[in-house]
Amino acid sequence: MSILIDKSARVLVQGITGRQGAFHAKLMMDYGTDVVGGVTPGKGGEWFEGKPVFDTMRMAVETTNADVSLVTVPARFAADALLEAADACIKLVICLTEHIPVADMMKVIAFCRRRGTRLIGPNCPGVMTPGQAKVGIIPAMVATAGNVGVVSKSGTLTYEVGFAMKNAGIGMSTIVGIGGDPVIGTTFVDILEMFENDPETEKVALLGEIGGSAEIAAADFIKNSMTKPVAAFVAGRSAPPGKRMGHAGAIVDGGEGSAEEKILALEAAGARVAANPEEIPGLLA
């Protein structure tokens, strides 16, 4: 087992004929993901690598019986694509797109909740269950199958830690990038709860960063509801307050969201917090 996706996931790619969409859809298929088709308005009836392209999500879901969708469309169209996915009652939608206005995301999240659709992202690298499937852009080479669950706000930092774990002989159950935006569909707590309930996950690595209070909520959850050990890293100890560090959500605002307060909360909750991400494999051994 794993969380969110496994080899039975039937995946649609929204924006499959775009440059990014096509490139990553192909890599996902090469990895063994069951990509059953794609959606690009105005290109219905075309084919991509032997899979059908549809004009609308409703048509695509009805025809392919897909249960997962990946949104790769540009920021101006992404919120609409997400609403369309939720309206088609897809179970899980993963959004890679960065720079979607927060006002749009708040509406999307409210609508997904109403439709029972789980949203991962936006502004995230996606989800990978090593050896089974990947939905998103996480490179195949950063992970092998195993029993450590990884949840992270960032992309390349996750690859870095995943690669270090792989080199140390530690495998992963599922890797989830929840995204670096201020308002996201799925939080650390949601994913920690899934890992806690997943029999194949024995330990968890959490990679947080400055901004907001999601790591504080995660610390509360670790303290009160988790039995599995957690190793953590929080990026941005050296970041100045009031500045947005690349990710829209990575900002220490009005004294809230600093790395120090998050590290203290995670340590107090019993998580082992690394000062250097290269120490994480050691903390999980």
Q: Which residues contact 276 (CB under 8 A, 6 or more apart)?
A: none
Task: Check whether the bond before 122 is cis (ω within 30° of 0).
Answer: yes
7 in contact with other proteins (CB under 8 A): no
Quote the least distance from Cβ 8 to other proteins, whole Å: 26
130 in contact with other proteins (CB under 8 A): no
250 in contact with other proteins (CB under 8 A): yes
Quote the least distance from Cβ 159 to other proteins, whole Å: 5
Of the two residues 159 and 221, which places its CB atom closer to other proteins in the complex? 159
74 in contact with other proteins (CB under 8 A): no
89 in contact with other proteins (CB under 8 A): no
247 in active site: yes
Of the two residues 60 and 251, which places its CB atom closer to other proteins in the complex? 251
Out of 57, 93, 135, 245, name the contact with other proteins by CB under 8 A.
245
8 in contact with other proteins (CB under 8 A): no
Identify the three-state secondary structure at position 95: strand
Burial tier of 21 (Cβ tally within 10 Å: 0-12, 13-18, 19+):
buried
159 in contact with other proteins (CB under 8 A): yes
99 in contact with other proteins (CB under 8 A): yes
What CA–CA distances, in Å, run from 229 to 96, 144, 195, 235?
Answer: 29, 20, 11, 20
What is the C-alpha separation between 251 and 239, in angstroms, rounded?
9
Stretch that binds other proteins, among 35-43, 65-73, 224-232, 273-281 (CB under 8 A): 273-281
Of the two residues 66 and 266, which places its CB atom closer to other proteins in the complex? 266
Identify the three-state secondary structure at position 250: coil
Q: Which residues contact 197 (CB under 8 A, 6 or more apart)?
A: none
What is the C-alpha separation between 108 and 86, in angstroms, rounded?
9
Stretch that binds other proteins, among 4-12, 57-65, 180-188, 261-269 (CB under 8 A): 180-188
The residue type at 115:
R
Quote the least distance from Cβ 217 to other proteins, whole Å: 7
Q: Which residues are catalytic?
A: 247
